[in-house]
Amino acid sequence: MADKITDIEKWKTKYPFLKDLWASYESFDKTVQDDEKYNNYKTLCGMFLEPLTDYEMEHNNFCMKLVRNLGIYSENIFSLNFIPDRCNNLNYWIYNSIKKHNIQDNLINQCFEDYFQLTKRASNMVECKYHSYDKSYDDPMIAIMINIFNTHVSDVIGALKSSSESTYISGHKFVCDCVKIYKNMKSKYCSNENPNDVKKKICSDFKTFEFTYTTYLLDKNGLMNKIPSLNNIENEYSNMCRKYEETTVSANVPTVKVPGTLSSDGDSEGTTHEILTATPVNVETGNNPISSTVSTSLGAVAGASSVLALLYKFTPGGNWIRFGIGGNRRRINSNLYEDGPNELLFEGFEGRDMSSYNPTYNVGYGSV
In this predicted structure, what is the pLDDT of residue 6?
A: 55
pLDDT tens-digit map of 251-288: 444 444 444 434 444 444 333 333 333 333 333 333 33
Given a contact cutoff of 8 angstroms between Cβ atoms, the answer to whether 296 and 208 are in contact is: yes
Cβ neighbors of 187 (< 8 A, separation 6 or more) are none
In this predicted structure, what is the pLDDT of residue 5?
A: 54
In this predicted structure, what is the pLDDT of residue 343?
A: 40
The yes-or-no verdict on residue 96 having pLDDT over 50 is yes
Task: Give residue 302's pLDDT band: very low, low, confident or very high (50, 70, 90).
Answer: very low
- Average pLDDT on 147-163 reads 95
Per DSSP, the three-state class of 303 is coil
Angle at 62 between CA 59 and CA 63, to 5 degrees: 85
Given a contact cutoff of 8 angstroms between Cβ atoms, the answer to whether 156 and 174 are in contact is: yes
Neighbours of 127 (CB within 10 A): 18
**Among 203, 204, 205, 215, residue whose Cα is nearest residue 156:** 215
Amino acid at position 85, single letter = D
Highest mean pLDDT pick, 94-103, 118-127, 272-281, 328-337: 94-103
Give percent of the chain above pLDDT 70. 63
pTM score > 0.85 for this model? no
Q: What is the mean pLDDT of the chain?
A: 72
Highest mean pLDDT pick, 29-43, 71-85, 135-149: 29-43
* Better-predicted residue by pLDDT, 125 or 114: 114
Phi, psi at residue 323, to the nearest 5°?
A: -75, 160
The yes-or-no verdict on residue 289 having pLDDT over 70 is no
In this predicted structure, what is the pLDDT of residue 196?
A: 67
Per DSSP, the three-state class of 239 is helix
Task: Give residue 218's pLDDT band: very low, low, confident or very high (50, 70, 90).
Answer: very high
Distance from the first to the final alpha carbon of the chain: 42
Given a contact cutoff of 8 angstroms between Cβ atoms, the answer to whether 95 and 303 are in contact is: yes
Given a contact cutoff of 8 angstroms between Cβ atoms, the answer to whether 98 and 348 are in contact is: no
Cβ neighbors of 335 (< 8 A, separation 6 or more) are none
Highest mean pLDDT pick, 51-55, 102-106, 299-303: 102-106
Every domain of the chain and the residues it spans: 9-325+340-350
Quote the CA–CA distance of 107 and 138 in Å, as a whole number: 23
Given a contact cutoff of 8 angstroms between Cβ atoms, the answer to whether 240 and 231 are in contact is: no
How big is the chain by its Cα radius of gyration, in Å?
Answer: 21
Cβ neighbors of 330 (< 8 A, separation 6 or more) are none
Least confident of 26-30, 35-39, 130-134: 130-134
In this predicted structure, what is the pLDDT of residue 246?
A: 59
Quote the CA–CA distance of 179 and 268 in Å, as a whole number: 39
* Better-predicted residue by pLDDT, 358 or 71: 71
The yes-or-no verdict on residue 153 having pLDDT over 60 is yes
* Better-predicted residue by pLDDT, 55 or 74: 74
